[in-house]
Amino acid sequence: MATKQRLELTWVGKYEQPSLEPRILIEDQSKSYGDKRSENMLIHGDNLLALKALEQDFANKIKCVYIGGIIECCGLR
């Protein structure tokens, strides 16, 4: 019986875990808008670093995370 062939994506560093140091999010009042009592946040930056910064305070508490693609973040449509 023939075995099934499988495809695999490979790249340099695929199996290396990136080491991330803890990050702190700092609010920029000049860019803040909307209801100050809201718990919503809009974070611009690297997806992985932003999620790691949120992890410590919000693990098991976040209901929804939207990570926009390159088209949305750069205003290209």
Question: Residue 18: its pLDDT value, please?
Answer: 75
Over residues 6-26, the pLDDT tens digits come to 888 888 888 888 777 777 888
Query: Band of the pLDDT at 71, cuts 50, 70, 90?
Result: low
pLDDT of residue 72 exceeding 60: no
- Does an H or E element contain 6, and which? none
Residues contacting 20, CB < 8 A, separation 6+: 48, 49, 52
What DSSP line would sit under 24-45, residue for residue?
Answer: -----GGG--S-TT-------S
Rg, the chain, Cα only: 19
Rounded-to-integer distance, Cα 13 and Cα 17, Å = 8
pLDDT of residue 51 exceeding 70: yes
Query: Band of the pLDDT at 60, cuts 50, 70, 90?
Result: confident
